[in-house]
Amino acid sequence: MNNSPALLPLQCLKCQSALPAGVDEVAWVCPTCGQALILDDGQPSGLSLLTIQYGAGIPSGGRGRPFWVAQGTVVLQRETYSGNQSQQASEFWQSARIFMVPAYACGLDDLIGQGMQLINQPPSLGVGQPAPFLPVTLAAEDLRPMAEFIVMGIEAARRDDLKALKIQLNLGPAALWVLA
Ligand SMILES: [Zn+2]
């Protein structure tokens, strides 16, 4: 094996077509049969079948943006220097929240900012037609650390002086959504 950063030799599990897999990508739709697949190191083939959900409103001819979406519950231990907002925090996290994390290539600040905004104002996901989408580069396993960054971002943005934060995050199963 050489280290050439060319295409990975991945084949569709359904029709054996070669997948046009870029090195940073972790999920694809087979160009021949339309089956969605995800990288899975636990499988001899290196792949598992995947179901992709498509939101409404992706313009025809445009490309949607993939997001990992999972419901999460959060329990916090907060310590503050001053201006304690822990009551507001526990009210906010009292109900389960929907985490939506960009799965396409974007900077960490952008990812956290979008995740914070989407948790505060969840879009209605609707159901649309399959459409092309930006390359999926965030592995499903990375949803948890990214969701923790989003919780940290939300807590750091409260109007108090946070000294220490302990996050206990329980995440449900992740789904891949492609949104407008
Ligand atoms: Zn196929």
Give the model confidence (pLDDT) of 36-52 as tens digits: 999 998 998 899 999 99
Distance 70 CA to ligand 1 centre (A): 27
Question: In this structure, which amino acid lies at residue 72?
Answer: G
Q: Say if 94 falls within a structural domain.
A: yes
Is the residue at 114 inside a domain? yes
Quote the pTM value.
0.91
Distance 78 CA to ligand 1 centre (A): 49
Q: Is residue 107 part of a domain?
A: yes
Q: Measure 127 CA to ligand 1 centroid, in angstroms.
A: 23
Span between the terminal Cα atoms of the chain, in Å: 39
CA 45 / ligand 1 centre spacing (Å): 14
Answer yes or no: is 10 within a domain.
no
How many domains does one find in the chain?
A: 1
Q: Which domain holds residue 157?
A: 55-122+139-179
DSSP letter for each residue of 84-138: --HHHHHHHTSS-EEEEEE-SS--HHHHHHHHHHHHHSPPP--------B--B-S
Q: Is residue 6 in some structural domain?
A: no
d(CA 15, ligand 1 centre) in Å: 4
Which candidate, 151, 141, 129, 147, places its Cα nearest to that of 26?
A: 141
Is residue 145 assigned to a domain?
A: yes
By the 8 A CB rule, do 130 and 54 touch? yes
**Which class for 155: exposed (0-12), middle (13-18), buried (19 or more C-beta within 10 A)?**
buried
Identify residues whose C-beta is under 5 A from ligand 1, the ion: 12, 14-15, 17, 30, 32-33, 35
Burial class (CB in 10 A: 0-12, 13-18, 19+), 180: middle
CA 21–ligand 1 middle distance (angstroms): 13
Q: For the chain (length 180 residues), average pLDDT per consecutive 10?
A: 56 94 93 96 92 93 96 96 94 96 97 97 90 96 97 95 95 96
Give the span between the Cα atoms of 80 and 158, in whole angstroms. 11
CA distance 113 to 71: 18
Dihedral (CA of 28, 30, 36, 40) sign? negative
35 inside domain: no
pLDDT tens for 3-44 read: 544 445 799 999 999 998 888 999 999 999 999 999 998 998
C-alpha 144 to ligand 1 mean position (Å): 30
**Is 8 within a domain?**
no
CB 57 within 8 A of CB 128: yes
Q: How far is the CA of 53 from the centre of ligand 1 (A)?
A: 18
Tell how far the Cα of 18 is from the centroid of ligand 1, in angstroms: 8
pLDDT reported for residue 165: 95
Tokens of 12: 């569709």
How many angstroms separate the alpha carbon of residue 142 from the centre of ligand 1? 26
